[in-house]
Amino acid sequence: MSSGEFDLIYRYFAPLAGEGAPAFGLQDDAAVFQTEPGQELVLTKDALVCSVHFLETDAPDMLARKALRVNLSDLAGMGADAKGYLLALALPQKMTAEQRRNWVATFTKGLAQDQQEFSLTLLGGDTVSTPGPLTISLTALGTVPKGRALHRFGARAGDVIYVSGTLGDSAIGLALRQGTLEEQDVKCRDFLVDRYLLPQPRLALGRALRDLANAAMDISDGLIADLRHICEASGLGARIFESDLPFSPAAGKVFERFPAYNKKVWQGGDDYEMLFTVPENREKEVTALSQELGLSLTRIGQMTQNRELHLLDQDHRDVLQAGEMEGFSHF
């Protein structure tokens, strides 16, 4: 059985595209994508590299879902509706034909599962071999009503800062996967590892924030690093409080035994929760939205005219140390 490029495309990827528009079963080298009147196109791209963004032992179907979901999280941060995606795979030359075929078969099962959950299709892409590590590059396409996209800029002094869900779970889950941290409670460990393996893009929240938030983005590099992006884009500062930062009961158990890990709440990456600011007089709408979505939305501080960013403890002392605002960086 062949496992060449075109065989892999027609056998495994073409079914993800469907037979009709916009990709026509991947029979052409490009898709024809038509946006609806009054809509703007939103594009985002992320690359995942083995041993940088994921472990070599991570299952292919989970990698597929994570690659898709981190891009969907970017769309959520813009308030967009997901429509489709482009995919490029660089598969290691050291893979045998059978290993390559089996890996792609499992990978595409993961894509199919999330395509159904998020109602989108594959639009096209490329499959190549590489002497380097396995690399997954995915571009997601979405649409948003004209003029209503969310941005990092636009926050105003006095705006209240909110985050969705809980923070730090994914960073702790990665530590558990790497073996640098141990957790005997199976349910606790499984929850934290799942948060690392399977992000939850907050698409419904992003849509709901179009007419509520002054600024928004998803949290990928860590709370402090990403809040700093909003501060810089908006020409403002922020004061947030350590005691207000939300973390899960599972993370709390880890902090009881390893207090140093509490920094993961504001410094760890891969949360893929939403960070947003709203006028103080609209907080009741945030409370109602939280109840409507069944998703915790936690107030953690306020934007300030002073351009400094402060993380304060219960005595209003700054917790941040030199160099702790940068978050994850590749370079």
What are residue 29's phi and psi, to 5 degrees?
-90, 0
pLDDT of residue 291: 98
Which sign, positive or negative, has the C-alpha torsion 61, 67, 68, 69?
A: positive
Give 311's strand partners. Answer: 240
Q: Which whole-number Å values give the CA distances from 152 to 52, 72, 77, 163, in the listed order?
A: 26, 17, 9, 14
Region of poorest pLDDT, from 34-43, 161-170, 213-222 = 34-43
Closest CA to 121 of 48, 56, 31, 210: 31
Q: Which residue carries 């992006």 as its tokens?
A: 229
For 74-99, the pLDDT digits (tens) are 999 999 999 999 999 999 999 999 99
pLDDT score for 4: 64
Spatial contact of 307 and 237, defined as CB atoms under 8 Å apart: yes
* More confidently predicted of 331 and 305: 305
Q: What is the DSSP string of 254-294?
A: HHHH-GGGGGHHHH------EEEEE-GGGHHHHHHHHHHHT
Is the model's pLDDT at 34 over the cut of 90? no
- What is the residue-averaged pLDDT of the chain? 90
pLDDT band at 31 (very low <50, low <70, confident <90, very high): low
- Quick: pLDDT tens for 167-189: 999 999 999 999 999 988 999 99
Q: Report pLDDT for 178.
A: 93
Taking the C-alpha atoms of residue 210 and residue 157, their distance in angstroms, rounded to an integer, is 19
Question: Measuring CA to CA, how many Å separate 325 from each of 65, 105, 246, 312, 320?
Answer: 29, 41, 19, 14, 8
Residues 297, 207: Cα–Cα separation, whole Å: 15
Task: Say what the pLDDT of residue 5 is.
Answer: 62
> Is the whole model's pTM more than 0.75, yes or no?
yes
Pairing of strands 81-92, 135-145: antiparallel
- Over residues 245-279, the pLDDT tens digits come to 999 999 999 999 999 999 999 999 899 999 999 99
Phi/psi for 48 (5° steps) reads -120, 125
- What DSSP string runs through 109-162? HHHHHHHHHHT-EEEEEEEEEESS--EEEEEEEEEEETT----STT--TTPEEE
